[in-house]
Amino acid sequence: MNRDEILTKILAIFAVNFEIENPDPDENLGEAHEFDSIDAIELIREIELLLDTTLTRQEKESAMGIRTINQIVDYVSDLAAARA
């Protein structure tokens, strides 16, 4: 998956799972959309399904500092590259 494809998938997850439509790629999701730690855990599960992989504890913990859509796309791109 290239970056655009990942972005499309992530936005679809946000629309369906979190009812957040087309968020600004650089806005703070917590401040703008009440996206919280419970949502982050839910998102990690969706990312595992998206990449058909199991994330390590360290990989999951590294996601906890993510705040924006662009950061999520970077995170998923790195995970995908590491598994390529």
- How many other C-beta atoms lie within 10 A of the C-beta of residue 29? 23
Alpha carbons 63 and 19: distance in angstroms, whole number? 21
* Least distance between another protein and beta carbon 48 (Å): 6
Q: Helix axis angle, 37-51 relative to 3-18, nearest 10°? A: 130
Give the footprint of another protein on residues 14-73 (CB under 8 A): 18-19, 34, 38-39, 41-42, 45, 48-49, 54
Which pair of tokens denotes residue 55? Answer: 């994330």
54 vs 58, which CB is nearer to another protein? 54
Return residues touching another protein (CB under 8 A): 18-19, 34, 38-39, 41-42, 45, 48-49, 54
